[in-house]
Amino acid sequence: MSAIRPEYLWLATGGKTELSVARLSPLQGRRIILFPDTDETGQTYRDWYAIAEAAASVFDHPVTVSSILEQRATPAQRTAKIDIADLIYNE
């Protein structure tokens, strides 16, 4: 994503279960937008949304969760558990 949108700082979590308020804490004070991978049920989105709400409360600063993948991913893409880079590169 840095090649496409270099004006942003892009960080990977290392896996869908690796995101936490503690891992976001070095970014406190920055504008944070999370792009969770897709899955068949939308559970990753819901989990990351809960973490974003907790982080926003701790940081006293908004943490946003993008719903672009939830809105645009096809059933096949959800099964493949695509991420934001997959969506952008395959458009």
pTM exceeding 0.85: yes
- Please enumerate in sequence order all residues whose Cβ is within 8 A of that of 82, keeping only pairs 6 or more positions apart, or say none: 37, 38, 69, 73, 90
Give ∠ CA 2-7-12 in degrees, rounded to 5: 40
CA 87 to CA 66: how far, in whole Å? 13
How far, CA to CA in Å, does 44 sit from each of 8, 19, 21, 24, 88? 23, 10, 15, 17, 19
Distance CA 27, CA 37 (A): 20
Average pLDDT by consecutive 10-residue portion of the chain (91 residues)? 91 90 94 96 97 97 96 95 91 69
Q: What's the pLDDT at 89? A: 87
Cβ count near 87 (within 10 Å): 16
